[in-house]
Structure 1
Amino acid sequence: MEAADTPRLRLDRARLEANAARLRARAAALGVAFRPHFKTAKSVEVARLSHGGAPGPATVSTMKEAEALAASEAAADILLAATAIPARLPRAEALARAHGTRLLLVVDSPEMARQLDEAATAAHEVLVEVDCGEHRAGVPPEGALAVARAIHGARRLRLAGVMTHGGHSYATDDPARLAAVAEEERAAAVAAAEAIRGAGMPAPVVSVGSTPTLLHARHLEGVTEVRAGVSLFWDLAQMSRGLCGWEELALSVVSTVIGHNRAAGALILDAGALALSKDVTANAFAPETAYGRLADAETGAALPLHVTIVHQEHGTVPVPDPSWFGRLPVGSRVRVYPNHACLTAAGGYGAYDVVDGAGRPAGRWARVDGWH
């Protein structure tokens, strides 16, 4: 990796495996199945490791992810968490024909259920998305029945249950509030499922999930599965909320110091907005984070330096005194730990440079980027 061009994604396999084991253990302790989300990793190898090296249920954001997991036999039971649209059905049906994959679709309106049914040429299992408080997508629990009836009465759709996402859990770092949001998430999904069953319709799947709510839920009675994704890698946004520690961060960006702006008192890196993203979600609870924190390239030890300005291909790192120009000369390398691993990893890298627990190269894992 020392001779390779930068910026590059560095993935610590030992930390990834430890993080996955923690999530599996947490789901098992709550008595629910673990359906990890691959919107962060977008990697077949990560999918396998998330289940301890075996195939297992998966959550995806794109059909391209679903196709890669099915073709590699890393997953045969997949939930497409983004709202389904008719244009995706030909690929969904091809997936079932080619691999026998179970693909759960999601809708949150009778209108979209009707559009899917009109476009479908094969049967599709569909979940009702419930809004448990984030107000992004989904219907309130009391509105789930109308969507369920549209699915249940359709020609080609099969009602499979409900799902929800407690994304509003990221608005706090207070453990008590996180536990309360986890209960809001659970209660909303269970209430919707019970209403559907009470109306004589099936709801075998009750799916919830976000990293904070998985870790802080007091119980998950009535829930069948949990979804979480970024916690396989962790990032500074999660660390700022007390969900992980520095030694659990599995993903970083290797960057080269390409310049010294002595007049501005700053290092210039070749990791800018495209390499790191402009996400600053850690700053709500750790305002010094800016666009990412630097670490020693070899040891991973945290440095008191942050990327405070990003242009497309440049990152600016103010230094507290001129000695840093000697400590990090032009041509030297650093790691940058990002705010939001999902968006940073999606920056066009194409693959991860994987290292083992001792930092030795352990392979290069392709990413399934894009939509088509």
Structure 2
Amino acid sequence: MSFGELSTPTLLLEKTKLIANINKLDLRLSTLSTPLRPHLKTCKSARVAELIPNITQNGITVSTLHEARYFLDNGHTDILYAVSIAPQKLTQIKQLQDQGASMTLILDTLEAAKMVAQSSEELQAVFPCLIEIDCDGKRAGLPPQAPEIVEIAAFLNEQSGTQMKGVLSHSGGSYYCQTIQELQEMAEQERISITTAAQRIRNAGLPCPVVSAGSTPTATYAATLEGVTEYRAGVYVFQDMVMEALGVCQTNDIALSILTTVISHNKSGNRLIIDAGSLALSTDPGKKNRLGEPHYGCVCDATTGQPIDGLWVTSTNQEHGLISLDNSNRSLTDFPIGTQFRILPNHACITAAAYPGYHILDDQVPPAVIDYWDRSNGW
């Protein structure tokens, strides 16, 4: 269909920007001599994955077993399931192994390690495991000096049904940084944390071949990745308004957007009402915009994809989004009912998860819809 025939709200992906984002990080990590194991929780698309260099050689990262099955069906066998394993899911992991997947699991407690070992006997399986390291206090994992790290590593190494494969970290704290210097420092903090944990394991005479770290912000600004064997990043393929606010990308680098239509005017509030609400955009407030205010997406011209000065999605309900005109020099009459916008999302991962697939655009003005790529949603 043509661009003008698309029903709204719908998900758009600009192929030229997508490829540029992919190639930019590939070059960056190549200069740091560190392979990328891309986190496909953002795109959840085999068509996007096939554009990433060396992906078959380096392996992939997923966040759901649904993704693991989907990408295995599309030829990806080296799969890191980067969420602490629940014992109830090990039967599904064994099924994926039987279908040809090389599945790596993560955990951060001796209790979980013992459950994995017990299930391995029952299922007659071997489960490779990484120990999650907490490098910034933002989520799961063990601090790099925690005595439990060596204890868990020794246990995994001793069991016939588990394999001590290495350590893993994610610098979620990078999303809270305010400056480029802070991002650089966060990248180095993660590197030191995870390599310290890895060395403690090796000093105990235990194997630790994999040292897996990463996030899109730290991948962009790390000065060195010495001691890290692979880096993970996901949102870099699309970028979003959080990455723009962090200085990781420019607004024009964002490849993902939501096409939406003005469906009403709120005259008393000087607001446009659009048909993209919290389900279509997510309720992630991201970071404050350049006006110092929270928002739910940057409003762009539908044809050119360029931001319209002063226009942001300022609030959302389930199926309605509201755009205040108070910070612009525009009036309601400038945007009659039926006007369409593109909205650049705050959090590309969550926003894209609301849609079954991507309408792929070329880089012409007005754009043409050149393809449709499916996604793998669900758990």
User: TM-score scaled to structure 2, two decimals?
Assistant: 0.93
Cα displacement (A) at 1:273: 0.7
CA contact (8 A) 1:179 1:218 kept: yes
For 1:27-176, list aligned pairs within 5 A: 27-51=29-53, 56-73=58-75, 75-98=76-99, 100-120=100-120, 121=123, 122-143=125-146, 144-176=149-181
Partner SS, residue 293 of structure 2? helix
Query: What residue is the counterpart of 1:192 in the other structure?
Result: 197
Separation (CA, whole Å) in 2 of partners of 1:328 and 1:285: 23
Cα displacement (A) at 1:180: 1.1
Query: What residue is the counterpart of 1:280 in the other structure?
Result: 285
The answer as to 2:211 corresponding to 1:206 is yes
One-letter code of the match for 1:227?
Answer: R
Moved more, 168-177 or 278-287: 278-287
Query: What residue is the counterpart of 1:307 in the other structure?
Result: 313
Separation (CA, whole Å) in 2 of partners of 1:105 and 1:134: 21
Give runs of ≥4 in structure 1 deviating > 4 Å: 52-56
The answer as to 2:8 corresponding to 1:6 is yes
CA contact (8 A) 1:308 1:318 kept: yes
CA contact (8 A) 2:38 2:55 kept: no
Separation (CA, whole Å) in 1 of partners of 2:298 and 2:244: 12
Cα 1:315/1:241, change in 2 over 3 Å: same
Partner SS, residue 50 of structure 2? helix
Query: What residue is the counterpart of 2:375 in the other structure?
Result: 367
CA contact (8 A) 2:289 2:295 kept: no
The answer as to 2:311 corresponding to 1:343 is no
Separation (CA, whole Å) in 2 of partners of 1:146 and 1:53: 33
Cα displacement (A) at 1:170: 1.3
Cα 1:124/1:52, change in 2 over 3 Å: closer
Partner SS, residue 353 of structure 1? strand
Cα 1:322/1:302, change in 2 over 3 Å: closer
The answer as to 2:341 corresponding to 1:334 is yes
Partner SS, residue 288 of structure 1? coil
Cα displacement (A) at 1:287: 3.0
For 1:237-276, list aligned pairs within 5 A: 237-276=242-281
RMSD in angstroms over aligned alpha carbons?
A: 1.7
Query: What residue is the counterpart of 1:319 in the other structure?
Result: 325
One-letter code of the match for 1:312?
Answer: Q
Query: What residue is the counterpart of 1:182 in the other structure?
Result: 187
CA contact (8 A) 2:37 2:55 kept: no
Cα displacement (A) at 1:332: 1.8
Separation (CA, whole Å) in 2 of partners of 1:288 and 1:43: 33
Cα 1:286/1:21, change in 2 over 3 Å: farther
CA contact (8 A) 1:105 1:127 kept: yes
Query: What residue is the counterpart of 2:358 in the other structure?
Result: 352
Cα 1:210/1:226, change in 2 over 3 Å: same
One-letter code of the match for 2:360?
Answer: V
CA contact (8 A) 1:289 1:306 kept: no
Cα 1:59/1:135, change in 2 over 3 Å: same
CA contact (8 A) 2:61 2:81 kept: yes
Separation (CA, whole Å) in 1 of partners of 2:175 and 2:329: 38
Long gaps (5+) in structure 2: none
One-letter code of the match for 1:318?
Answer: S
Partner SS, residue 84 of structure 2? coil
Long gaps (5+) in structure 1: none
Cα displacement (A) at 1:50: 2.1
